[in-house]
Structure 1
């Protein structure tokens, strides 16, 4: 029979996966727990009760999802944005609604695909289905959301798209095939251009009329009737400028044969080394354009020596789905028809994507790999990082050199792949959710291998992220915690400090379902907000809530009155619910909200009232090595437990209540004192093969457990 005193000094490994219960040989087993619920490990070693949440307001639509997007100008000017079905609402940091509601192009189904990046008072918003938008704050109560007014968008020789029927006399490979359009489509200079539809490709050999052309089919078409098709290339005729200088002047461009269309307005013409933007359509042979960069001459340019190009960001090819600010450029990527292309603006000109070869010109390049890997996120981690569905890439300009149009290096660093959840930057690492949504990886530069690695940060607690992560946010202060909303509505948190080797997961639950999370800076640290779906009075509702240090209830109200009162209002959002109540630091009997209010049995000056939540920490069975081997599987008796607390009041151990205060004449209606020190319990009994204890805090009071000391007897 061995009698031992064992101490668990910290909980920095967090809640370990049941798969780890046999790994008594590793250090993290000694620093982990079986359950950490509604508490989080802290870097210093202990486990403390999580912050409660205060009610900010109801989402606009109770039956539709919403997400939260932080808008941060600086640490003193930060706002929280509620994005819902075709609207945006703005909140002040204290949780009050600014009164600003904007019309948004993002429907409920599009919200999970919205990306954003902010520079100063301007936020760029990305989604593959709509043009890049710009959210701007003019004053605290005046905001605007509109398509970003790009000076120039990236362009390419895209041709002309038709969404009308095209009939083919014979869709098989061969010459002399007749193509008949349902609308006027063909012009004389289309001879030599190609018709594409599905897998079919044909080269036009003659134009009979505006609706009929003959062509040679190079690749067979799937059918003789095509619902949509495109005309590739530029007009096959010469183009003559009326003048070639100065930049900014309006000149005419005249074709030798009909080739201009009214839809060409807004497109660009590359000719004689210059660039012009088409501004006015006059006739099929004449248009006017503004000189953007000067051509070398006005000499007529023959077919294929000039090109008509259009923006690659459009309703057919789609729009960029992600972006970031890097090296004073706006970098965007991930459009549907250019899934691996990255575009970067001119240096210090976020709205100018006019491509060129000078070092400060805008540029575009493709992240090539052995498979199609759509770019889902752009981020920064020492370099520009592109996270794709199939792997992680870095983009550099060489050793300590900036990226320029003529100096780009793209390297594939790993092949884990990511999903749509927006990555989070913590220190020198970029945290992203792996493709299946169940693993969290941290991308960072490794000096020993001179490469970027992405280790699995959830490997020891894989059960916590098993249902999949759908939203993430990072709180840097006062505690370094990553918040991750799971698909099942539970909030997983990871306390992280890589310098102190702290990676501790825990689970945060509430009487409802977390759906989205975001963080903004506030006085004293970062403030975490969440969209929570609850059932109140039999009805589903969606509330905007914020985690607040010192709050001990969920979706609660914190109020004060200098003269004191017994009836407290403002609880209509919790009508019919049973609430925890703390009045002047004293826990009151639970009450049900009636007509939006509660009535206390005595006058109170400060109250917190909201939904209850329970904190639980369950320790693992300790491992002891003796001369006869491991203690695992032996009978164990916990003779005595000593719990070391910091500023704690009230808790239970294996269902036994710990007394934290002495009763007396001067203690009634006074807040219980916060206790720091050791509490001792004896005779917790025998158990075969285990000696774990469950510590709970069921009251809305502070709880901070520093360490657990067990005096146990082990029988072989």
Structure 2
């Protein structure tokens, strides 16, 4: 019979996966727990009861999801934006509604696809089906949400798309076929251009009328009638400029054959080494244009020596779905028809995507890989990091060199892929959720291998991400914690400090379901906000709430009246719910909210009132190597437990209450003093094959566990 004194000095490994309960050989097993619920490990080693939440407001629509997005200019000017179904509401950090509600183009079904990046007082917002929008703060009560006023959008020789029927006399490969459009579509200069629809391709050999052309079918069409099609290339005729200088002047462009269309203004013409933007349509042969970069001459340019190009951001091809700021450029990517293309603005000009070859010109390039993987997110560490559904890329200009139109180097160091959750940067690592929604990976440069790696941060606690991660936010201060909303409404948290080798997972649960999370900096540390779906008075509701230090209840209110009062209102949002009450630091008997208020048996000057949540920490069965081998599977008896606390009131061990309050005259009318020190408990009994402890705090009071010491007897 071995008698031992064992100590667990920290919980920095957090909650260990049930799959790891047999891995007593791992170092992290000694620093972990079987359960860490409604608490989080801290970098110094202990585990502390999580902060409660204060009620801020009800979301605009109880039956539609909303999402929280931070708007941060600095620690003094940070706001939370409630993005809902076609609206945006703005909140101050103290939880006050600014009164600002903006009309938004984002339906509630698009919210999870929104990506964004902020520079100074401007936030750019991206999603595939909506043009890039810009959210700007003019004053605290004056905001603007409108399409970003790009000076120039990226353009390409993409042709014209038609949402109309085209009928082929014979869709099979061959010459001399007839193609008939249901709308007027053809001009004389279209002879020589190609018709694309599905996998079919046909070259126009002659234009009979605005609706009928003769074609050679190069690739067969799947049917004689196609509902949509595209006319590729540029007009096949010569183009003559009236002048070629100076930049900014308006000149005319004249075609030898009819080729201009009424919707050409806004498109670009590359001719004789220059660039012009069409400003006005005069006739099928004449348009006016503004010289953007000067051509070398006004000499007539023959067919195929000049090109007509249009924006690649449109309702047909889609819009960028991801973006970031990198090296003084706005970098965008991930549109529907250009899923692996990245566009970068001119240096220092976020709204100018006029492509060129100079070092500070805008540029575009494609990520080359062995499969088409849409860009879902873009971040940066010491390189531009496009994250796709099928892999992770790094883009740079080379060693100590910036990206330029003629100097781009893209690599694909890993192929894990990511999901829709916006990645979070912590230190020099970029944390993203793998495409199956379960694994959390941290992408960073590895000096030993001279490449970027993305290790799995959830490998020892894979159960913590059960049901998948749907939103994520990072709190840097006062504790370094990554908050992750699960699809089932549980909040998974990971306390992280790579320098101290701390990766501590825990689960936060509430009377309801977490749906979104966001973080903003304040002078006292980062403030975490959340959207919570609850059932109140028989109705489903969605509330905006914020975690707050010193609050020990959920969806709560904190109220003060120096004169003292017994009736406390402001609880309409908890009508019919049973609530915890802390009055002047003393826990009162639970009550049910009626008519939006509760009545105390005595007056109080300040109160916390809200929903109860219970903190639970269950330790692991210790492992001891003895002369006969492992202690696992043997009978174990914990004769005495010593818990070391820091500023704690209240605790239970295996259901037995630890007394923190000394009895005496008028003591029960005063708030209990915070306890720092050790408490001992004896005679916890025998268990076969395990010796775990369930440590609980079910009262709305402070709890900070530093260490657990067990005096244990093990029988072979």
TM norm. shorter chain > 0.5: yes
Query: What residue number does 1:154 align with?
Result: 154
> Does 2:448 correspond to 1:458?
no
Query: What residue number does 2:421 align with?
Result: 421
Question: What SS class does the counterpart of residue 668 from structure 1 fall into?
Answer: helix
Query: What residue number does 1:251 align with?
Result: 251
> Does 2:415 correspond to 1:440?
no
Query: What residue number does 2:189 align with?
Result: 189
Could you tell me how far 1:371 is from its partner in structure 2? 1.1
Measured in 2, the distance between the counterparts of 1:429 and 1:697 equals 35
Query: What residue number does 2:24 align with?
Result: 24
Could you tell me how far 1:26 is from its partner in structure 2? 1.2
Measured in 2, the distance between the counterparts of 1:457 and 1:347 equals 36
Measured in 1, the distance between the counterparts of 2:476 and 2:632 equals 39
Correspondence list, 1:58-73, <5 A: 58-73=58-73
Measured in 1, the distance between the counterparts of 2:584 and 2:522 equals 25
Correspondence list, 1:91-490, <5 A: 91-490=91-490
Correspondence list, 1:303-702, <5 A: 303-702=303-702
Measured in 2, the distance between the counterparts of 1:577 and 1:465 equals 29
Cα distance per residue 1:314-335 (max 9 Å; x no partner): 1111000000000000000000
Could you tell me how far 1:418 is from its partner in structure 2? 0.6
Measured in 1, the distance between the counterparts of 2:498 and 2:333 equals 31
Could you tell me how far 1:562 is from its partner in structure 2? 1.5
Measured in 1, the distance between the counterparts of 2:130 and 2:222 equals 30
Query: What residue number does 1:56 align with?
Result: 56
Measured in 2, the distance between the counterparts of 1:291 and 1:597 equals 70
Could you tell me how far 1:474 is from its partner in structure 2? 0.2
Question: What SS class does the counterpart of residue 262 from structure 1 fall into?
Answer: coil
Could you tell me how far 1:381 is from its partner in structure 2? 1.4
Measured in 1, the distance between the counterparts of 2:297 and 2:451 equals 49
Measured in 2, the distance between the counterparts of 1:449 and 1:523 equals 39
Measured in 2, the distance between the counterparts of 1:31 and 1:89 equals 43
Question: What SS class does the counterpart of residue 264 from structure 1 fall into?
Answer: coil
Cα distance per residue 1:521-558 (max 9 Å; x no partner): 01310000001000001110000000001100000001
Measured in 2, the distance between the counterparts of 1:390 and 1:644 equals 48
Measured in 2, the distance between the counterparts of 1:266 and 1:557 equals 55
When the two structures are aligned, how many residues end up with a matched partner? 716
Measured in 1, the distance between the counterparts of 2:138 and 2:264 equals 35
Measured in 1, the distance between the counterparts of 2:613 and 2:382 equals 41
Cα distance per residue 1:172-201 (max 9 Å; x no partner): 111111111111100000000000111110
Moved more, 47-56 or 563-572: 563-572
Could you tell me how far 1:431 is from its partner in structure 2? 0.3
Cα distance per residue 1:11-45 (max 9 Å; x no partner): 00000001111111111000000000000000000
Could you tell me how far 1:668 is from its partner in structure 2? 2.5
Measured in 2, the distance between the counterparts of 1:177 and 1:570 equals 77
Could you tell me how far 1:593 is from its partner in structure 2? 0.7
Measured in 2, the distance between the counterparts of 1:593 and 1:246 equals 76
Question: What SS class does the counterpart of residue 11 from structure 1 fall into?
Answer: coil
Measured in 2, the distance between the counterparts of 1:108 and 1:440 equals 26
Measured in 1, the distance between the counterparts of 2:668 and 2:680 equals 25
Measured in 2, the distance between the counterparts of 1:626 and 1:612 equals 44
Query: What residue number does 2:3 align with?
Result: 3
Cα distance per residue 1:151-186 (max 9 Å; x no partner): 001000011110011111111111111111111100
- TM-score between both structures, scaled by the size of structure 1: 1.00
Measured in 2, the distance between the counterparts of 1:155 and 1:106 equals 25
Cα distance per residue 1:77-97 (max 9 Å; x no partner): 000000011111100001111
Measured in 2, the distance between the counterparts of 1:177 and 1:683 equals 95
Cα distance per residue 1:107-128 (max 9 Å; x no partner): 1111110000000000000000
Measured in 1, the distance between the counterparts of 2:230 and 2:365 equals 24
- TM-score between both structures, scaled by the size of structure 2: 1.00
Measured in 2, the distance between the counterparts of 1:175 and 1:383 equals 51
Could you tell me how far 1:286 is from its partner in structure 2? 0.7
Measured in 1, the distance between the counterparts of 2:448 and 2:523 equals 39
Cα distance per residue 1:338-393 (max 9 Å; x no partner): 11111100000000000111111110011101111111111011111111111111
Question: What SS class does the counterpart of residue 669 from structure 2 fall into?
Answer: coil
Q: Which runs of 4+ in 1 moved over 6 A?
A: none
Measured in 2, the distance between the counterparts of 1:146 and 1:566 equals 49
Measured in 2, the distance between the counterparts of 1:415 and 1:462 equals 20
Could you tell me how far 1:430 is from its partner in structure 2? 0.3
Measured in 1, the distance between the counterparts of 2:98 and 2:560 equals 23
Could you tell me how far 1:245 is from its partner in structure 2? 1.0
Cα distance per residue 1:422-446 (max 9 Å; x no partner): 0000001000000101100000111
Measured in 2, the distance between the counterparts of 1:142 and 1:679 equals 56
Question: What SS class does the counterpart of residue 464 from structure 1 fall into?
Answer: helix
Measured in 1, the distance between the counterparts of 2:466 and 2:93 equals 33
Could you tell me how far 1:467 is from its partner in structure 2? 1.1
Moved more, 540-549 or 369-378: 369-378
Measured in 2, the distance between the counterparts of 1:650 and 1:569 equals 28
Query: What residue number does 1:707 align with?
Result: 707
Query: What residue number does 2:45 align with?
Result: 45
Measured in 2, the distance between the counterparts of 1:123 and 1:239 equals 41
Measured in 1, the distance between the counterparts of 2:309 and 2:533 equals 48
Question: What SS class does the counterpart of residue 462 from structure 1 fall into?
Answer: helix
Cα distance per residue 1:57-114 (max 9 Å; x no partner): 0111000001110000001100000001111110000111111111111111111100
Could you tell me how far 1:466 is from its partner in structure 2? 2.2
Could you tell me how far 1:666 is from its partner in structure 2? 3.0
